[in-house]
Amino acid sequence: MSLVRWVLQGFGWEIGRTAAKEAIESVREEPAPESAADRERRLREAEKRAKKAEKERAKEAKRRDKEIDRELAELMASYWVSFATTGDPNGEGLPAWPPYDGESDVAMVFGDTTRTESEVRKEELDFFDRVQERRR
């Protein structure tokens, strides 16, 4: 029996095998201090993984953008074909494109989504209206 164990037992404290095992395991589980070289290597690897993930996200975003652009081009072509054949851009399966009315100032907005919106770029367009009025 070790001197430490004998002294602890003498004070009425019993160190069980499980407590000793837990203490030993906790010491084994603690990571060794990281060297500067190991830290640099780990950071470089993390940076590489982050760059790779960013490239993948950018690639996916570009693919989505191309898909949206293709859909928008098809929609615009459908409006043009309908307008060229009937004089009205509205056609079967297309979102309704109301005729422009200066009072309601509703316009068709094309982008990731196609929608009608009122007072689109109102300030800019009002500026051009004022310029035109001065020229007359």
How far is it, in rounded angstroms, from Cα 52 to Cα 125? 45
pTM: 0.51
User: Cα(first)–Cα(last) distance of the chain, in Å?
Assistant: 112
Per-residue pLDDT of the chain (136 residues; tens, 9 = 90+): 555 554 455 544 555 555 556 666 665 666 667 788 888 898 899 898 888 889 998 999 888 889 989 999 999 999 999 999 999 999 999 999 998 877 788 888 888 888 998 887 788 888 988 999 998 7
How far is it, in rounded angstroms, from Cα 87 to Cα 106? 19
Look at residues 88, 114, 86 and name the one whose alpha carbon lies nearest to residue 100.
88
How far is it, in rounded angstroms, from Cα 7 to Cα 3? 6
- pLDDT score for 7: 46
- pLDDT score for 37: 87
- pLDDT score for 103: 79
Phi, psi of 106 (to 5 degrees): -90, 135
- pLDDT score for 20: 58
Query: Do 74 and 114 contact (CB within 8 A), yes or no?
Result: no
Domain boundaries, the chain: 35-94, 98-136
